[in-house]
Structures are given as C-alpha cells and as structure tokens.
C-alpha cells in the first residue's frame, strides 16, 4: 500500500485530498427542486450523503422504510450522485404507465440504469428495432417453436446435471441454471446446433454477467470518471469478435439463400430451419444494422435481456421449492413465481402526480416493486411461499386474468406495466414453466440438511437469488 510509505501527516493529507476529490466528484447540486418531496433519512442535503452510503448496502430496506412511512405516496432516497424518487400506490403507478415517452421516458431510464452507451455500445439505443421483434415475431411463433425449446430443455438438464442412479448431488443453483436458460433461449434465438456450442454459450453468459455487473458499478462512479472506469469493466468490440465467429457463417449462408430464393419465396426449403430471432433480425435490419457485427451485437443484447432475468426468476422459484419439498408432489401439476424488479422512468418534462406531487424535469423515478409485491394489502400473507396462490381460480382476488404470469397490473409489475412492459414475457413465462415442469417431473429437489431458503442477495435494488447457494438434485424416485 502506497500509504505505508508516507509519514502520518502526509497520509492524513492524502486521505483528506482523496475525500475532497471524491466529495467534489459526487457533489450534486442541492436539488431544491425536490425539496417538497419527503426523504427517507436525512432531508438535509449534506447529511443526506450518510443515507447515500447506506443505500449502497441497504437499498431495499430503505425503500421499504419509505413505503411504510409514506404509504401510497411519493418519497425520495439519496443516491451518491442524485436523489431517486420512488413512486407507490395504484394511482401513481397508473400515472407512470399512461404518461407518454416524451414526458416520462423509459428509454432514458434504461440508458441510465444499464449505462447503455458503455455496456452495450453507443448505437443500440438509437435503434431499438429488436424490441418489436421480441414482442411480435417471437410471441407469434411460440406455438410453432416451443416444442423445440422443450426438447432443448430436456437435453440441457440431462447434459448439465449428469446424475447417476438415484443419488443426491450438489449444484450451485445460479451457475447450473444459467447455461440451461441460455441454451433453451438460444434454440429460439439462433437455432440448433449453435445453441449448444460451448464457446457460443460461454460468450453469451459472460456478456450477460459483464453487462449486469458493469452497469451496477458504473452507476456508483461519478459520471466524469465513467469512461475511464469502464475500460476495466467492458469490452464490447472484443465480445463481438468472439461471438461473430459463430454467427458470421450462418448469417452469410442465410444471405446467400435470401439472394437466391428471395425473402418470401413460397415454400423456400430452408425456411423452417430459419424461423428464429437471427432470421427476424436479418429481415428487419436496415442500413448499418445489417452488418454481421451489428447483428451479432443485437443477438448478444437480446441474450442479455433474456438470460439474467429468466435465470434469477427460475432460481427464486427453485429455492422456494427446495425449501418446501412437500410441495413438489402437488406442484408436479402447476407452479408460478414472481420476482422484484423495477419500472423506472426518467422525467424529460415536469409532471404532477394524482396526489399533487410535482416532479421536476430530470428526475429519476422508480416504482417500489418489491415492497408492492410483499404488501399484505395486495397479497394475502405475502411472505409465505404459496405455490398455488394464483392457481386457485376460485379465489376471488386472483380470478380472471389477474393471476396470469404475463398480465401486468398495478399490483404486479415484475415485467413492468404499460407500453414498455417486457416484450419477452410471453416467451419467458412459457420457457420458465417448461423448465420448472421438466425439473419437477424428472428430479427430486431439496436443500442440504433441510435448511431454510438461502437468503437473497440484494445489490442496490436487484433481488438476486443467493449466487453461492446449492441445491440437491437426484433423479425422481417415486
């Protein structure tokens, strides 16, 4: 440590200098414009930095505190570089849903929380043509494509787990399930056999983890330092280099076919094999986006959107199930699960919420999703794992479409709500149910020593299933 070579006084000065520089870099203008919104913790600007540090380690508890204190209201939480405004209550969520993009922008919020220009490169956000493809082509083709996904899931579980006889074996749940999700999803993104190529899977998984980690780190770093810090976090061009090796031959072959047979040549022989995300992207891409490099980056981006979300959701369900193996028998019939994510918006224009709260331009808004999903006003006994909570349609409160995994509403925002609600949720719901059904029908699952569900890991506002925790699996015995 360089400080070891300094005298005590020099060391003190060095620390003082570092602190001043850090403070100056993080210093946010007092933000008087948000003075009328009550804060969690200290309202005073200077003291709020104490809360900003607490936020790094205790974000979810701070949101819950605000949620309990300002029920159905709007409050703010200090972050190092800005205040984050948290919205709760049905009317306000409805307002976030229906306010148009040019006032409360979803894209700017994603740009910020994912730090898109650094993590996915500068061009992705200018042209989001993959989003309607995920919503339309992918969803429309599910009935045709799901049998192949199911086949891939069955093969992936068997290849990854390699269980012998009927003995229990240990698996790190997150590390085990991520390749299975990757392989199953890519059956529909790029088709077989590429979806099971170890190097192709590895690059997509690494990319997913890199984007998730780098965006979280970059959000903690003052804006001025981000370009510098990012050099140690991401390398989008190198990731494309590695992935394009696998995709370019396929892209070129398909292009050749397209030239030979025309785009919609009826009865085109290869057509059935080419009904996947890559082909839809190739059909829709315009101008610069048609290059193999840009198509490759798009495939990596869709993988990022699909893999970490689906894996986390699956592992949340899996840990519940492993903690309560008594449910496996009845659940061999049906299961559903939800997670905590966000529905962020960035105010491009000032707006006033139904309760009268004025939100100035430039404010970052978050909906308190986890607090909402564990609110006993919305869900009976919300902290108890009840796998049949939504299955029992005789229960008035979850009847009709409200209990569907894919229907968003003001009490269920795991996929967001409104125009920007996750376009991949129809695919995700089908894929996850296929995975869980296969797991439950084929394997027995439990936790070592019948322990309690391993505690979730909270990173800022993400509720991550314990990344180190293991589950025990064996081939089903009864």
Ligand X SMILES: *[C@@H]1O[C@H](CO)[C@@H](O)[C@H](O)[C@H]1NC(C)=O
Burial degree of 339 (CB within 10 A; 0-12, 13-18, 19+)? buried
Query: Of 2-10, 224-232, 282-290, 300-308, which segment contacts ligand HEM by CB under 6 A?
Result: 300-308
Q: Which two tokens stand for residue 285?
A: 């891409």
> Binder to ligand HEM among 83, 200, 412, 427 (CB under 6 A)?
427
User: Does 128 sit near ligand HEM (CB under 6 A)?
Assistant: yes
Residues 305-334 binding ligand HEM (CB under 6 A) are 305-306, 309-310, 313
Compute the distance between CA of residue 185 and CA of residue 431 in angstroms, rounded to an integer.
Answer: 8
Q: Which two tokens stand for residue 180?
A: 């299975």
Compute the distance between CA of residue 341 and CA of residue 116 in angstroms, rounded to an integer.
Answer: 18
Q: How far is the CB of 307 from ligand HEM (least distance, A)?
A: 8
Residue 276 touches which of ligand HEM, ligand X, none (CB < 5 to 8 A by kind)? Answer: none
- Report the residue number, 81 or 411, with the smaller CB distance to ligand X: 81
User: Does 293 sit near ligand X (CB under 6 A)?
Assistant: yes
57-96 footprint of ligand X as x/- string (CB under 6 A): ----------------------------------------
- Report the residue number, 115 or 257, with the smaller CB distance to ligand HEM: 115
Compute the distance between CA of residue 436 and CA of residue 430 in angstroms, rounded to an integer.
Answer: 10
Helix%, strand%, coil% for the chain, nearest 5: 55, 10, 35
Number of residues counted as binding ligand X (CB under 6 A):
14
- Report the residue number, 183 or 425, with the smaller CB distance to ligand HEM: 425
Q: How far is the CB of 417 from ligand HEM (least distance, A)?
A: 6
User: Does 423 sit near ligand HEM (CB under 6 A)?
Assistant: yes
Burial degree of 468 (CB within 10 A; 0-12, 13-18, 19+)? exposed
> Binder to ligand X among 235, 291, 352, 399 (CB under 6 A)?
291
- What pairing do the DSSP bridges indicate for beta strands 364-367 and 83-87? parallel
Q: Is 422 annotated as a binding residue?
A: yes
Q: Which two tokens stand for residue 194?
A: 């590429």
Query: Coil, strand or helix: which one is 284?
Result: helix
Chain-centroid distance of CA 189 in Å reads: 18
Q: Where are the beta strands (DSSP E) in 148-287?
A: 169-172
Q: How far is the CB of 100 from ligand X (least distance, A)?
A: 16
Q: Which two tokens stand for residue 401?
A: 């479409």
C-alpha radius of gyration, the chain, whole number: 24
Residue 339 touches which of ligand X, ligand HEM, none (CB < 5 to 8 A by kind)? Answer: ligand HEM
Name 345's bridge partners: 365
Task: Please give the residue whose beta carbon sits closest to ligand X in the complex.
Answer: 291
User: Does 372 sit near ligand HEM (CB under 6 A)?
Assistant: no
Q: How far is the CB of 309 from ligand HEM (least distance, A)?
A: 3
- Report the residue number, 79 or 113, with the smaller CB distance to ligand HEM: 113
Quick one: which of 444, 117, 34, 74 has its CA closest to 301?
A: 117
Cβ–Cβ under 8 Å, residues 86 and 366 = yes
Cβ–Cβ under 8 Å, residues 309 and 327 = no
Number of residues counted as binding ligand HEM (CB under 6 A):
26
Quick one: which of 446, 451, 438 has its CA closest to 471?
A: 446
> Binder to ligand HEM among 59, 415, 453, 470 (CB under 6 A)?
415
User: Does 115 sit near ligand X (CB under 6 A)?
Assistant: yes
Residue 305 touches which of ligand X, ligand HEM, none (CB < 5 to 8 A by kind)? Answer: ligand HEM
- Report the residue number, 102 or 478, with the smaller CB distance to ligand X: 102
Cβ–Cβ under 8 Å, residues 440 and 331 = yes
User: Does 294 sit near ligand X (CB under 6 A)?
Assistant: yes
Residues 200-229 binding ligand HEM (CB under 6 A) are none
Quick one: which of 311, 253, 282, 256 has its CA closest to 435?
A: 311
Helix and strand numbers (H, E) in the chain are 17, 12
Quick one: which of 116, 348, 82 has its CA closest to 226?
A: 116
User: Does 206 sit near ligand X (CB under 6 A)?
Assistant: no
Query: Of 63-71, 81-89, 115-123, 331-339, which segment contacts ligand X by CB under 6 A?
Result: 115-123
Residue 293 touches which of ligand HEM, ligand X, none (CB < 5 to 8 A by kind)? Answer: ligand X
- Report the residue number, 77 or 461, with the smaller CB distance to ligand HEM: 461
User: Does 465 sit near ligand HEM (CB under 6 A)?
Assistant: no
> Binder to ligand X among 39, 59, 108, 331 (CB under 6 A)?
108
User: Does 362 sit near ligand X (CB under 6 A)?
Assistant: no
What angle (nearest 5°) sits at the alpha carbon of residue 430, between those of residues 181 and 130?
70
Q: How far is the CB of 70 from ligand X (least distance, A)?
A: 28
Compute the distance between CA of residue 30 and CA of residue 16 in angstroms, rounded to an integer.
Answer: 23
Q: Which residues bind ligand HEM (CB under 6 A)?
A: 106, 128, 131, 134, 138, 302, 305-306, 309-310, 313, 339, 341, 343-344, 414-416, 420-425, 427-428
Q: Which residues bind ligand X (CB under 6 A)?
A: 108, 111-112, 115, 117-118, 123, 126-127, 288-289, 291, 293-294
Q: Annotated binding residues for heme, as ranges? A: 422
């Amino acid at each position: 440590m360089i400080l070891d070579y300094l005298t005590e006084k020099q060391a003190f000065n060095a620390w003082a200098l570092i602190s001043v520089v850090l403070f100056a870099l993080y210093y946010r203008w007092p933000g008087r414009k948000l003075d009328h919104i009550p804060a969690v913790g200290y309202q005073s600007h200077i003291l709020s930095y104490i809360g900003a540090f607490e936020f790094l380690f205790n974000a979810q508890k701070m949101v819950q505190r605000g949620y309990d204190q300002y029920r159905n209201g709007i409050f703010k939480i200090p972050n190092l570089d800005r205040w984050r405004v948290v919205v709760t209550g049905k009317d306000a969520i409805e307002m976030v849903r229906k306010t148009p993009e040019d006032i409360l922008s979803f894209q700017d919020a994603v740009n910020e929380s994912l730090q898109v220009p650094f993590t996915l490169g500068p061009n992705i956000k200018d042209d989001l043509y993959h989003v309607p493809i995920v919503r339309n082509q992918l969803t429309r083709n599910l009935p045709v494509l799901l049998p192949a996904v199911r086949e891939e899931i069955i093969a992936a579980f068997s290849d990854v787990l390699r269980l012998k006889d009927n003995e229990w074996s240990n698996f790190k749940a997150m590390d085990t399930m991520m390749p299975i999700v990757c392989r199953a999803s890519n059956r529909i993104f790029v088709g077989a056999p590429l979806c099971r190529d170890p190097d192709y899977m590895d690059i997509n998984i690494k990319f997913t983890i890199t984007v998730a980690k780098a965006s979280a780190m970059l959000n903690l770093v003052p804006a001025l330092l981000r370009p510098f810090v990012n050099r140690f976090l991401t390398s989008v061009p190198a990731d494309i280099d590695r992935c394009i090796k696998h995709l370019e031959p396929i892209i070129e072959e398909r292009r050749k076919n397209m030239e030979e047979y025309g785009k919609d040549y009826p009865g085109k022989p290869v057509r059935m094999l080419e009904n996947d995300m890559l082909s839809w992207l190739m059909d829709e891409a315009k101008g610069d986006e048609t290059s193999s490099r840009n198509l490759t980056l798009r495939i990596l981006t869709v993988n990022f959107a699909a893999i970490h979300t689906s894996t986390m959701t699956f592992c949340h369900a899996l840990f519940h199930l492993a903690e309560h193996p008594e449910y496996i028998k009845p659940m061999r019939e049906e299961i559903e699960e939800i997670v905590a994510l966000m529905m962020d918006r960035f105010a491009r224009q000032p707006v006033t919420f139904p309760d009268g709260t004025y939100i100035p331009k430039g404010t970052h808004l978050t909906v308190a999703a986890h607090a909402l999903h564990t609110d006993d006003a919305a869900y009976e006994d919300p902290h108890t794992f009840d796998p049949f909570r939504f299955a029992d349609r005789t229960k008035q409160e979850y009847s009709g479409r409200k209990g569907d995994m894919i229907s968003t509403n003001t009490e269920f925002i795991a996929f967001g709500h409104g125009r920007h609600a996750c376009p991949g949720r129809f695919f995700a719901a089908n894929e996850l149910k296929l995975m869980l059904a296969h797991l439950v029908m084929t394997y027995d699952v439990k936790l070592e020593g019948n322990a309690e569900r391993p505690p979730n890991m909270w990173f800022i506002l993400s509720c991550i299933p314990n990344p180190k925790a293991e589950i025990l699996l064996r081939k089903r015995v009864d």
